[in-house]
Amino acid sequence: MTAEERDEDFERLLEYLKRERGFDFSGYKRSSLTRRVAKRMQSVHVENFADYQDFLEVHPEEFAALFDTILINVTQFFRDADAWAALRGEHIPRMIARKAPDSPIRVWSAGCASGEEPYSLVIALAEELGIEQFKERVKVYATDMDDHALLEARVASYTEKDLAEVDPGLRERYFESTGGRFVFRQDLRRYVVFGAHDLLTDAPISHLDLLSCRNALMYFNSEAQARILARFHFALRDSGMLFLGRAEMLRSHGSLFAPLDLKARIFTKVENANGRDRLLMLSQADRADTTPALLRRLRVREAAIDAYSCAQLVVDPAGTVILINRAARDLFSLSETDIGKPIQDLRVSYLPVEIRSRLDEVRASRRGTSVRGVTARLPNGETYTLNIQFSPLLDRGPELLGISVSFDDVTRQQRLQEDLAEANQELETAYEELQSTNEELETTNEELQLTIEELETTNEELQSTNEEMETMNEELQSTNEELETINDELRQRSLELDDANTYMHSILASLGVGVAVMDRDLLVKLWSREAEELWGLRETEVVGEPFLSQEIGLPVGRLHEPFRACLDRRSSQEEIVLDAVNRRGKSIRCRATCTPLSGQNGDVRGVVLVMEDWQDPEVAAGG
């Protein structure tokens, strides 16, 4: 199978997961996502993605195991102690000091896994505010995509190993010891609200003072990160804090967040980021270029369109309004708050003319169209005659970025053709000068930004590498924890096996006779110490060897037929007395007793041979 075919199978598998279970992993980094899925495939002995999709269709219980593998839940209390020290010692006190004494404090732990992080936040805030103030003012929201992890978080029961990074004093104040485990105190647990949440698709929790999302962004690609960060910006209050993991830097999102403590990865919301910035970020979420340079270029272009006297609005392929210039806002009594709404929700969609069908026509044909000489009474009370132009906005390829709808006022043209022609000429000249100025500004800006963009590109590459290494580190940590569990189980089984062997050898020793156990091929599996004493061969010399080929003082060839009788179920016990010579060279009479070795299912798995120095009772009596 070629690499291209393998990639196509993988994409089909992701589409299947989204369709069947509602989990959309399209925003995750393909390298780490492929590794996690391949790890699960190895566990069920499936070699390619197409076969694994078939396996999921036949075994629906496999979905839970797959999602547990993909959603790596590696976490701990106060993870990265230096970062938590900075948050607790400096930034939480500063956050509380900025707020009124009785105002509420809202906190969100996004990607909370099994609960260690939100409970760490509870401890930090309770220590700063005091328990009573915490209960009156604080609400902590904790979300994750993994339902199994959320169940563990709600139970809030941890081992002593889980609390290794918790100060003994904090452990005593905030945890109750029960049955060898530590349970987070119930009166504070009720102030943490747990819920399932997808960072890419679900609406964010709003009006937050602190948002903690540590080592989660690094699993997403750059487009998905941009979408999530735009949502985080919306979720935070002005000057709200964002607490990230040590591999997450936000170098390319300076218009939304500024560093408060870069070493601790604590950022603050940029208060002057307006609705236009957020819209530009969200509208570009499906494209790779989300750098500040792009945002600047788009703002320059938007300013140029605002300066254009012709009313214009732009909708995206889904029919959502993404731009309204100043002339359109004035003409149709629109505002910037209408940006982001579906076009059908606005009055302009049917006044002065029904434009939704024209949008569908342009969307289907990728060609412009126009409606000329439309006369209508607009919301400002004036009657206008307009020429309406619908123009597709295409990328460098065939992709449709949006549709521009421009409304050209030709009222005065009908009244005074000459005056309107002169005005249009002046407008065209001004537009050309503006375009020329815009081009000059863009050229200058591109030259100035060239060096910065190169440095930012290098930083992004380093950031991506760092995130990838952190991802692999968490995967290795998860694997190590699994191996430790398996090792503990193997160690326990080894101890049990040693005890069983010791017990078995003690039983054999107490019999006072030589015992040999053979499998169906008559290979020696057990050789007792009394057998060593009788024939002079150690256990290490005999085990694994054919019994009938052993050179001992016993004529082993005569035992072949008794062995076969036991193995073939023709006899439940065979006894034979043989002349033999023991390890000291003394002639003895050896009584050899053969019995079948039965398994749990009643099948014969081998032969048990008991050998003892025997003296005929009649001979002994005569002597």
In tens, the pLDDT along 508-555 reads 767 778 999 999 999 999 998 888 888 989 988 999 999 998 888 899
Encode pLDDT of 457-489 as tens digits: 778 778 778 878 888 888 888 888 888 888 988
* Whether residue 603 sits in one domain with residue 537: yes
For residue 424, the model assigns a pLDDT of 66
Q: Are residues 484 and 542 in the same domain?
A: no
Provide the 8-state DSSP code for 45: T
| pTM across the whole model | 0.51
Sheet architecture: strand order including 587-598 = 524-527, 514-519, 604-613, 587-598, 574-581
Do 485 and 552 lie in a common domain? no
Is residue 286 one of the residues assigned to a domain? no
Q: Whose CA is closest to 362, among 384, 381, 389, 341? A: 389
Last residue of a domain, one of 279, 309, 334: 279
**Distance of alpha carbon 292 from alpha carbon 302, whole angstroms:** 15
Residue 46: CATH number of its domain: 1.10.155.10
Residues 407 and 420 in one domain: no
The reply to whether 267 falls in a domain is yes
For residue 380, tell me if it sits in a domain.
Answer: yes
Shared domain for 19 and 152, answered yes or no, is no
Does one domain contain both 101 and 214?
A: yes
DSSP 343-398: GGGSGGGTSSS--HHHHHHHHHH---EEEEEEEEE-TTS-EEEEEEEEEEEE-SSS
Specify whether 420 is located in the same domain as 407.
no
- Do 236 and 103 share a structural domain? yes
- Owning domain of residue 115: 81-279
Q: Are residues 107 and 140 in the same domain?
A: yes
Residue ending a domain, among 413, 433, 466, is 413
537 is a domain residue: yes
Kindly state whether residue 284 falls inside one of the protein's structural domains. no
pLDDT at residue number 375: 82
Domain finish residue from 70, 102, 127? 70
The pLDDT tens digits of the residues spanning 326-360 come to 888 888 888 877 777 888 888 888 877 888 888 98
Looking at the structure, tell me whether residues 496 and 541 fall in a common domain: no
Q: Is the pLDDT of residue 288 over 60?
A: no
589 with 558, same domain: the answer is yes
Is residue 10 in some structural domain?
Answer: yes
Asked whether residue 228 is domain-assigned, the answer is yes
Asked if residue 285 belongs to a domain, the reply is no
Number of domains in the chain: 5
CATH code for the domain in which residue 370 is found: 3.30.450.20
User: Is residue 265 located within the same domain as residue 362?
Assistant: no
Which position has the higher pLDDT, 396 or 416?
A: 416
